[in-house]
Amino acid sequence: MKICFYDTKPYDKIWFEPAAKEKGFEITFQEVKLNRDTAVLAYGYDAVCIFVNDTADKETIEKLARYGVKVILLRCAGFNNVDLKQAEKAGIKVLRVPSYSPSAVAEYTMGLILAVNRKIHRAYVRTRDFNFNIHGLMGIDLKGKTAGVIGTGKIGQEMIRILRGFDMEILAYDLYPNKELDVQYVPLEDLFKKSDVITLHCPLTKETKHIINKEHIKMMKDGVILANTSRGGLVDTEALLDALADGKFSGVGLDVYEEEDEYFFEDCSNDLITDSDLIHLTSYRNVILTSHQAFFTEEAMRAIAEITIENADSFISGKNLNNLIK
């Protein structure tokens, strides 16, 4: 089996090369992202392996099918970047890694919440400059406060477990509440009105796009903390920026950004950044923005590589496709 990997970094090679070698797969690592212009690199390959910021839209998929690609292997859980209808039409199967390490993402989310609450990022910079003044670094106790968790799937459940460890009250919202879960589900509006911390763990869909918008932000408590480690499109950046300017949030932790495709995972430190929203967001001292790294642990990378290669193996050897996206 020949697999063309897109948007690869040195750490992808470290984890994927041995896993592919074991199965005797031939793999090529491309640094460029998949899109309609780069699809041609997959000519003659059986599969493409893509990540969160590759684009498998209608035109790209049509091209991939023409070049002989039969399967798209997502080395991530989210699949909002793939036109599934077009893939089905083109006879291309789409497989993903539905779960690799929910705790990796949940633990990171808690890290962001703790950091923005207690201003650890600012304290780090101060003490490096021998500024030992703590004025402006005050946070709140999380114990006894209310956390609103939107999306109670694998990561959301890990998040609830961690937040309970901090003795927080939990309010949850999910389009499909999990009856087996011992948590209080509330309407979305109530969650927004009552939570001191709000954390997003639902996928990006038509329904969830801009779930954090002007109207919903208005419902939130003043001084609320928001964490988004799910997908950038869940937050209306303009509405967030307006609210930040009004001092609505005491802290915002973002691992994802609506327009991240062009910048995230790349070293742009020598480039002129033209995205004014990105510049604006990073200028707020109560915002921590990181580059989609919540998943990035050894355990997660090992699992992602193993499951992706297993998906490829199941496809080529005609086994059950357990991780097929329908």
Tell me which residues touch ligand NAI (CB under 6 A): 77-78, 99, 102, 105, 150-156, 173-176, 201-205, 207-208, 229-231, 255-256, 292, 294-295
Q: How many CA atoms lie within 13 A of 63 on its CB side?
A: 17
C-beta closer to ligand NAI: residue 63 or 231: 231
- Catalytic-role residue among 75, 122, 201, 292: 292
Asked if 282 and 289 touch (Cβ cutoff 8 Å), the reply is yes
Instruction: Give the shortest CB-216-to-ligand NAI separation in angstroms.
Output: 12
In terms of CB distance, is 140 or 325 closer to ligand NAI? Answer: 325
3-state secondary structure of 118: helix
Distance (Å, rounded) from C-alpha 219 to C-alpha 263?
32
Alpha-carbon distances, residue 60 vs 52, 91, 180, 261 (angstroms): 15, 14, 41, 16
Catalytic member of 201, 216, 231, 258: 231
Please state the closest distance from residue 292 (CB atom) to ligand NAI, in A: 5
Q: Pick the closer one to ligand NAI by CB: 86 or 208.
A: 208
260 catalytically annotated:
yes
Q: Among 260, 261, 258, which Cα is nearest to 239's?
A: 258
3-state class of 305 per DSSP? helix
- Shortest reach from residue 150's CB to ligand NAI, in Å: 6
Interatomic CA distance for residues 171 and 232, integer angstroms: 22
Q: Is 231 a catalytic residue?
A: yes
Q: Which of 168, 172 has the CB closer to ligand NAI?
A: 172
The residue with its CB nearest to ligand NAI is 153
CB of 145 to ligand NAI, least distance (A): 22
What the block records as the tokens of 5 is 């990997």
Catalytic residues: 231, 260, 292
